[in-house]
């Protein structure tokens, strides 16, 4: 027997053994192996689909985050603008109030000055009147101290007086 060239019996039994092994594998192993491969393929497809869904969800979340961030920026800008407007309004109100207070104080000072001026003029008039009366009294006393001068003055007064 030659070991390099197989005989018909050896080939026959090898083919029969191979077919029996193939039948046993098909009956018991192929279904679980194909099922495992199929389930593995299905889980890979599911994982890829889940990864794609997660990627899309991440893109949506990033877009939402960007939108929220932009809204926050816009709101911050709006708040800053409102704060600036309030500051400007407060400054304008303070200026207006200061101007009003200043004008009121100036008006009160002017009124006080006018009042003081009127009081001073009235006082001056009183002093002038008093002084005039004193002078007139002294002049009249001096002129009327003499009897002749008194009669002369009375005559002059009567001459100037007109009866209606």
Chain centre to alpha carbon of residue 104: 32
Task: Specify if 1 maps to a domain.
Answer: no
pLDDT higher for 116 or 157?
Answer: 116
pLDDT higher for 21 or 4?
Answer: 21
> 153 with 143: CB under 8 angstroms?
yes
- Residue located via tokens 């911050």: 76
> 74 with 82: CB under 8 angstroms?
no
Q: How confident is the model at residue 164 (pLDDT cuts 50, 70, 90)?
A: very low
pLDDT higher for 71 or 138?
Answer: 71
Q: Per the structure, how many domains does the chain have?
A: 1
The domain containing residue 86 runs over which residues?
8-160
Distance, CA of 116 to CA of 108 (rounded, Å): 12
Task: Specify if 3 maps to a domain.
Answer: no
Segment 49-58 shows an average pLDDT of: 95
Task: Specify if 62 maps to a domain.
Answer: yes
Task: Specify if 126 maps to a domain.
Answer: yes
pLDDT at 135 over 70: yes
Distance, CA of 140 to CA of 132 (rounded, Å): 12
- In this prediction the pTM is 0.40
Segment 140-164 shows an average pLDDT of: 70
Task: Specify if 55 maps to a domain.
Answer: yes
**Tens of pLDDT, residues 74-106:** 999 999 999 999 999 999 999 999 999 999 999
- Summary mean pLDDT of the chain: 87
């Amino acid at each position: 027997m030659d070991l390099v060239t197989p005989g018909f019996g050896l080939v026959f039994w090898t083919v029969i053994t191979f077919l029996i092994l193939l039948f046993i594998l098909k009956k018991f192993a192929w279904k679980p192996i194909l099922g495992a491969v199929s389930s593995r393929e299905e889980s890979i497809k599911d994982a890829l689909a889940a990864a794609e869904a997660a990627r899309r969800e991440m893109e949506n979340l990033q877009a939402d985050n960007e939108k929220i961030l932009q809204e926050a920026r816009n709101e911050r800008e709006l708040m800053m603008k409102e704060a600036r407007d309030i500051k400007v309004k407060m400054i304008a109100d303070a200026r207006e109030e200061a101007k009003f207070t200043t004008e009121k104080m100036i008006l009160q000072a002017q009124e006080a000055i006018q009042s003081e001026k009127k009081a001073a003029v009235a006082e001056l008039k009183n002093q002038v009147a008093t002084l005039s009366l004193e002078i007139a009294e002294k002049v009249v006393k001096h002129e009327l101290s003499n009897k002749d001068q008194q009669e002369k003055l009375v005559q002059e007064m009567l001459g100037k007086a007109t009866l209606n």
